[in-house]
Amino acid sequence: MVVCAIAAPAAGQQMPDAAQMSGVPLPAGDLPAGAVSVRLVRGDVSNNIAGHPIELHGGPSVLTVTTDTSGRAQFTGLTPGTSVHAVAAVDGQRLESQVFSVPAQGGVKVMLVAPDAATDARAAESAKLATSAPQPGAVTLSGQSQFVVELADDELEVFYLLQIANTLRTPVEAAPLVFDLPPGARGATVLEGSSSLARAEGPRVVVSGPFPPGMTVVQMAYQMPYSGDRVTIAQKMPATLESLSIAAQKAGGMHLTSPQMANHGEMPSDGRTYLVATGPAIRAGDSLTFTVTGLPHRAAWPRITALVAAVVILLVGAWASVSVGGEARAAAARRRKLQERRDRLFADLMRIEQKHRTSVLDDPRDAARRRDLVAELERLYGELDEGLAA
């Protein structure tokens, strides 16, 4: 909304095409009910035709009023709902408006535009020059250019509403205007309604010539994330900015500061408040720098606490897995040793039993050894059973 509100005055600076407005009825709340005001001009809106009769057709009778010094003829006391249209004859040519109904509230304004040879000749000459070969030259960023900042979730949305001015009557072949966006900016976009000369190339926007006479509109936007209560934006100007104008949506104790601001204040709009600032020209190659402070932001300590807790949990899990794995490996190694000793003792016992079956006389030492082996095997089997239970 603030983009539209700020861009509207800039559009109002351009001279309207009078021929396209001729005969088009427009509602006028500043006129009394049942009133119709007809303005008569020649060629453009600055050339009024005074002292000329205007007729209003469609009522019970044709009404005639002569234009005043401002080229206006006003008809009053008309019956609401009546279909009427304005007529004037200028230099043998009949000018007529569209048919419209008289409203019940407010009035209607109509403009009738008579052709003008001098104006047509100038328009033709301007059109011819506008399509001629580009000439070397330079362009500037008009004083109607605006910089707008709006709040989003943990980021600022920054808009550049630029008007590139070519004051010559012919196209100008100038070096491309390269806007290298501030560090941290992301999502650079050229907005709808911009000139086809502009294109986004990653973290920059490039506007290439040749630049036509008059104004070339370029509107761009990007996002600037922030985590604290302030953010600074520095934009290098590829061409001279004739005057500085910044607007920022205000929230809480937010402030807008810049060493280049000559005037600043606040402006309410549709239930919101905007910080507005203006300043002098900025030369090509210099940077526009401004800082937004007091930004609403989320506290960082919950995220830090959660991160620390996650790291601690991971470390404890790693330590536990290493400890349990080490104990398991140690238990497996001890079991293997017990099994190897069991196998050796069992082999000794089998040799003694084999000797006993083949010998006529028993060796007392073999009997004692057999008792020892059986006792040792019973102990080993007990240890192996305990290990399995664990």
| pLDDT score at 17 | 63
Q: Would you state the structure tokens that stand for residue 333, as one six-digit string?
A: 């190694």
Say if residue 173 is in the same domain as residue 245: yes
Q: Are 267 and 273 in contact (CB under 8 A)?
A: yes
- Alpha-carbon span 100 to 261, nearest angstrom: 50
Q: Look at residue 52 and tell me whether its pLDDT is greater than 90.
A: yes
The candidate with the shortest Cα–Cα distance to 158, out of 238, 208, 226, is 226
User: Given 267, 293, 319, which residue is the final one in a domain?
Assistant: 293
Neighbours of 103 (CB within 10 A): 20
Q: What angle do CA 315, 320, 322 make, to 5 degrees?
A: 95
| pLDDT score at 121 | 64
- Of residues 132 and 50, more confidently modeled: 50
Strands (DSSP E) contained in 76-176 are: 83-90, 93-96, 100-101, 107-114, 135-136, 140-141, 146-152, 155-166, 172-173
For residue 216, tell me if it sits in a domain. yes
The candidate with the shortest Cα–Cα distance to 173, out of 210, 129, 130, is 210
What is the three-class DSSP state of 348?
Answer: helix
| pLDDT score at 367 | 77
- Of residues 229 and 139, more confidently modeled: 139
| pLDDT score at 237 | 94
| pLDDT score at 314 | 85
Say if residue 119 is in the same domain as residue 28: yes
Say if residue 148 is in the same domain as residue 211: yes
**Is the backbone peptide bond immediately before 9 cis, with ω within 30 degrees of 0?**
no
- Alpha-carbon span 28 to 32, nearest angstrom: 9
Say if residue 257 is in the same domain as residue 351: no
Say if residue 27 is in the same domain as residue 171: no
Q: Is 77 left (phi over 0), alpha (psi -120 to 50) or beta?
A: left
For residue 146, tell me if it sits in a domain. yes
Mean pLDDT, residues 280-292 taken together: 93
Q: Look at residue 8 and tell me whether its pLDDT is greater than 50.
A: no
- Alpha-carbon span 176 to 31, nearest angstrom: 49
Say if residue 373 is in the same domain as residue 345: yes
What is the pTM assigned to this prediction?
0.51
| pLDDT score at 252 | 77
Say if residue 332 is in the same domain as residue 238: no
The candidate with the shortest Cα–Cα distance to 197, out of 222, 171, 223, 221, is 171
Q: Domain with 110 in it: what CATH number? A: 2.60.40.1120
User: Given 243, 275, 293, which residue is the final one in a domain?
Assistant: 293
For residue 316, tell me if it sits in a domain. yes
Q: Domain with 254 in it: what CATH number? A: 2.60.40
- Of residues 222 and 135, more confidently modeled: 222
For residue 93, tell me if it sits in a domain. yes
What Å distances lie between residue 240 and 177, 244, 297, 383, CA to CA? 11, 11, 35, 91
Which residue do the tokens 């709340």 mark? 29
Number of domains the chain is built from: 3
| pLDDT score at 38 | 96
The candidate with the shortest Cα–Cα distance to 59, out of 39, 34, 38, 37, is 34
Per-residue pLDDT tens over the stretch 81-115: 999 999 999 988 899 999 999 998 899 999 999 98
Mean pLDDT, residues 46-70 taken together: 93
For residue 103, tell me if it sits in a domain. yes
Our measurement of the distance from residue 304's CA atom to the centroid of its chain's CA atoms, rounded to an integer in Å, reads: 29
Our measurement of the distance from residue 8's CA atom to the centroid of its chain's CA atoms, rounded to an integer in Å, reads: 20
Q: Would you state the structure tokens that stand for residue 85, as one six-digit string?
A: 């249209």
User: Given 130, 164, 193, which residue is the final one in a domain?
Assistant: 130
| pLDDT score at 122 | 63
| pLDDT score at 130 | 55
Strand partners, 26: 109
What is the three-class DSSP state of 3?
Answer: helix
Which band of pLDDT confidence, cut at 50, 70 and 90, is reported for residue 155? confident
48 burial (CB, 10 Å; 0-12 / 13-18 / 19+) is middle
For residue 68, tell me if it sits in a domain. yes
For residue 7, tell me if it sits in a domain. no
Mean pLDDT, residues 143-167 taken together: 90
| pLDDT score at 270 | 72
Per-residue pLDDT tens over the stretch 230-276: 889 999 999 999 999 998 888 878 888 888 888 888 888 777 888 88
- Alpha-carbon span 370 to 349, nearest angstrom: 6
| pLDDT score at 349 | 76
Q: Look up the domain containing 57 and give its range.
A: 15-130
For residue 4, tell me if it sits in a domain. no
Say if residue 50 is in the same domain as residue 120: yes
Lowest mean pLDDT among 13-22, 69-78, 306-315, 339-348: 13-22
- Alpha-carbon span 209 to 173, nearest angstrom: 6
- Alpha-carbon span 312 to 308, nearest angstrom: 6
Say if residue 204 is in the same domain as residue 265: yes
- Alpha-carbon span 218 to 142, nearest angstrom: 11
